Amino acid sequence: TAHGPQPEPDPPVDFDFQSILGQIEEDIRPQIGRGQIAAYIPALACVEPGFGMAVADLDGKVYGVGDWQRPFSTQSITKVFALALALAQGGDDLWKRVGREPSGNPFNSLVQLEYENGIPRNPFINAGALVVTDRLQTLTGDASSELLEFVRQESGNPDVAFDPEVATSESDNGDRNAALAYFMASYGNIANSIPALLDHYFWQCSIEMNCADLALATRFLARHGLRADGTRLLPRRLAKQINAVMMTCGTYDAAGEFAYRVGLPGKSGVGGGIVAVVPGVCTVCVWSPGLDAQGNSVAGIAALDRFTTLTGLSVF
């Protein structure tokens, strides 16, 4: 093939995910409702508290507990899908415009951009995600629709949709993202019109999915680049590399703590969702909207912490 010989698929692994999830739900109950619901996007502020968790195995069988079928705002989790599509369609040239080191700064920080010449540290902070969406916009002409179509296909759920209220709310309160985009444009690191780019970014972040949808849609990262229909999205090398960037940068200035507690590639969003990947075994998605100071779900991290301790499914 174009990507050289590919090893055989991984054999199925036999875990009783349903009873493990039941155990986790019990263990983390005291954490539900802790943390702050994101209020800087007003449309997110009115979300009811709750907790849901789902595991998808390599064959696409889904196990879930709690609010695992309740849709929530995916927000920064979509940065994983944007990165995968931009690399799949445009290749490694992307890395000339965005780095892959943890930033040690909040997800919406501007501070490193000036002394690092408009090159964001990684594709998962907002600045880096804007560059990725800009690249995807150049490659496809309609970045947000391309993303929506991708997650619909991978989740098998044609009802996955944008939330116009969230997209508008973000746009109305988007000064910081606009500042990031204009600043990077001054270094020649944005190719498209900034208002159009911001629009695609806000609509991308507004996609609503539930834990089952997200666990299924992330499965290509557990399957070394294979899509739900068995076709190849990414060569194994790229799937491995995206997982690595999720491990080191997926939870912003809490990536060290996330590795310490969970020990898996993971990506969070301010809607309270976190996806995690066990390459060759399964994907996990957890949702609970109370966030810690770094913007990561408090109960979500506690649940993933329990998941990797109970199953031993961690890099460590």
Applying CB under 6 A, the residues found at the interface with ligand DON are 75-76, 107-108, 126, 170, 177, 205, 268-270, 295
Known catalytic membership, residue 79:
yes
Shortest CB 239 distance to ligand DON, Å: 22
- Residue 157 labelled as part of a binding site: no
Known catalytic membership, residue 19:
no
Q: Closest CB to ligand DON among 13 and 178? A: 178
Partner residues linked to 54 by β-bridges: 64, 285
Partner residues linked to 276 by β-bridges: 266, 284
Q: Closest CB to ligand DON among 192 and 268? A: 268
From CA 67, how far away is CA 139, in angstroms rounded?
36
Read off φ and ψ for residue 281, nearest 5 degrees.
Answer: -130, -60
From CA 308, how far away is CA 63, in angstroms rounded?
16
Known catalytic membership, residue 201:
yes
- Residue 105 labelled as part of a binding site: no
Residue nearest to ligand DON (CB): 76
- Residue 76 labelled as part of a binding site: yes
Of 151, 252, 277, 286, the catalytic one is 252
Both tokens assigned to 258 = 């996330």
Q: Closest CB to ligand DON among 73 and 192? A: 73
Both tokens assigned to 124 = 């998962």
Per the CB < 8 A criterion, the answer to whether 20 and 307 are in contact is yes
Q: Could you say which DSSP state residue 47 is in? A: P
Of 144, 201, 262, 284, the catalytic one is 201
Of 270, 277, 284, 298, the catalytic one is 270
Q: Closest CB to ligand DON among 76 and 218? A: 76
From CA 176, how far away is CA 192, in angstroms rounded?
18
Q: Could you say which DSSP state residue 285 is in? A: E
* Active site residue ranges: 76, 79, 201, 252, 270
Q: Specify binding-site residues for substrate.
A: 76, 126, 170, 177, 201, 252, 270
